[in-house]
Chain A
Amino acid sequence: MSPLSPEDLLAIRLSLQVALTATVLALPVGFAVAYLLALTNVRGKAVLEGIVNLPLVLPPVVTGYLLLLLLGRNGWLGHFLGLFDIRIIFTLRGAVIASAVVGFPLLVRSIRIGLEGIDKQYIQASRTLGAKWWDTLFTITIPLCSRAILAGTTLMFARSLGEFGATIVLAGNMPGVTQTIPLAIYQYTSTPGGDSMALSLCLVSIVLSFAVLLIGEAANRKLSRR
């Protein structure tokens, strides 16, 4: 008999789905923010940096509650989305947003360090050779910080897999709908006799996180050999 119930398998699938969606959605935005912080002289960089890093220092529950205030039915963004019949709270979308917001600073931080490490004369050389800024971005900047992008993506994905506090506040803990691995473990630990099931999911969580880190490291080695 499998040590995992169909609900557990669903929680694993949802976890992967949420982490993957959150990472994919956050990546272009995270790169843009990192680019702004690292390579431009726009005003208000300190404020932007503070806002981006806030979820890193705030308790995830607080982040979740702020998101609830913003995206709830009476929140100004939630109210606006409601006009188009888009609901965020207590849906999978909410889980994705919570994961994306909490993992976002890790993504931006990694990419920013990578961008700051690029010798600016590579970018200047590309421009003087006739490449427009977007051409330089795709042919020089992104390839030269690909390892940092990979590191940020891996960190964010792993963080999203383990996200709990903000998710439970914003998306709730509904089996089959918003219940991810950490939420399922939480439910087992508060249910009498659920310890063994919680342990099984803990093992799954460890294996998944370890696999993500291994894949990330393998890809990093491949990039460094180029």
Chain B
Amino acid sequence: MFLHVDVEKKFEGFQCRVDFSLQSEKCGVFGPSGSGKTTLMHMLAGLLQPDRGIIKLNDMTLFDREAGINLPAEARRVGVVFQHAHLFPHMSVKKNLFYGLNRIPVQQRNIDPEHLISVLQVENLLNRSVAKLSGGERQRVALGRTILACPHLILLDEPLSGLDGMLKYQIIPHLRRVFAEFSIPMLFISHSLEEMRLMTEEVLVMNNGLIENQMSTEELARTKLGCGGRGYTNILRLESPEDLGKLLSYRWGDVPLMLVKTEKPAAGEFALNSRDILLFKKHPEATSARNMLPCIVRKTYQTDWLVGVELDCQGNTIITEIVPQSLDELDVRPGSEVVAVFKASAIQRLY
């Protein structure tokens, strides 16, 4: 995907002026409420006309004030997943899903509906009224509806912010799986660092209607460690699951890990937040935590709020956080040996 945006929109008391180019398939727009994220999204989707500038998506000019080009929303092929799903209440789930697909010429339909429905696991919901869906189901159907319209770019406007923590973790795997499976470029809009980390690779940081920064999501997550009490989300690829009764054993590279058994054992990606990891100078003899990993400190870095510690765990990388006092007391510095300890319940499945 290639997206170039250089636009300006003035409102009374607020101005949104953005100029950026993106090439990554998984991009994000990160910023606090009122920073201009939704204004930007509306301009991209053709729901709001900029005062000046240009918007190009791949080889198509969506908007060019000087050339007098302003493609209407229905001609842009830019899909939107709204914060509150906005499924059409007078239609069934199936009619919602096929609304966009039925408006695309047959030769341009490049998504197999049956496959998508199965990936999103909404087969059993097709004939239901949308009023009878749960929050998570609504977002899955909204995502499916947008994808079936075969867009060149999908804008996700804080699609998880209306869901509670548990539900969020149930939806994220669907989102990740769908975008991995169908290779659709996306722009994920959120004020949640964790969501940004899990969903995107490159991110635009917005504030006061301006792009403050453009960086990799990894860099953003490290920089913002501790901001607002948020941690860094480590993403672990776990293999070779083994059922141990109430626990599951996985291999993280050569490192064995224990997880709480909440579902059928299956390899995949899992999340571990830096807040859930304790550092010990020596191996704790007796503890309820099931995971105790001897590590070597690769590096430490100071953020505005905490100290980030990058650990080498038998070739795997993991990031944890400590306060500056702990850094001195434990004498944590590059090369020193520590034990990272976390509970089996601290690891959550992503994909």
B interface with A by C-beta (< 8 Å): 45-47, 72-74, 76-80, 82, 84, 86, 88-90, 99-100, 103-104, 145-146, 149
* Interface of chain A: mostly helix, strand, loop or mixed: helix
Residues of B within 8 A of A129 (CB): 74, 79, 99-100, 103, 145-146, 149
CB of A160 to closest CB in B, whole Å: 29
A126 at the interface (CB under 8 A from B): yes
A interface with B by C-beta (< 8 Å): 119, 121-122, 124-132, 135, 139-140, 143-144, 226
Closest to B89 in A: A144
Question: A131 and B103 in contact (CB under 8 A), knowing A124-B47, A124-B73, A124-B80?
Answer: yes
Closest to B85 in A: A125
Residues of B within 8 A of A124 (CB): 45, 47, 73, 80, 82
Contact A126 B80 (CB under 8 A): no
- Seed contacts A124-B45, A128-B149; 18 additional CB < 8 Å A-B pairs: A121-B82, A124-B73, A127-B46, A127-B47, A127-B74, A128-B46, A128-B73, A128-B79, A128-B80, A129-B103, A129-B145, A129-B146, A130-B77, A130-B100, A130-B103, A132-B72, A132-B74, A143-B90
Number of A-B contacts (CB under 8 A): 60
CB of B201 to closest CB in A, whole Å: 24
Question: A121 and B103 in contact (CB under 8 A), knowing A127-B47, A127-B73, A129-B145?
Answer: no
CB of B104 to closest CB in A, whole Å: 6
In the bound complex, CA of A124 to CA of B78 (Å): 12
Among B74, B78, B79, B82, point to the contact of A131 (Cβ < 8 A).
B74
Q: What are 18 A-to-B residue pairs whose CB atoms are below 8 Å?
A: A119-B86, A121-B82, A121-B86, A124-B45, A124-B80, A124-B82, A125-B88, A127-B47, A127-B74, A128-B73, A128-B74, A128-B149, A129-B146, A130-B104, A131-B74, A132-B72, A139-B99, A143-B90
**Which of B46, B72, B86 has the most C-beta atoms of chain A within 10 angstroms of its own C-beta?**
B86
In the bound complex, CA of A125 to CA of B138 (Å): 14
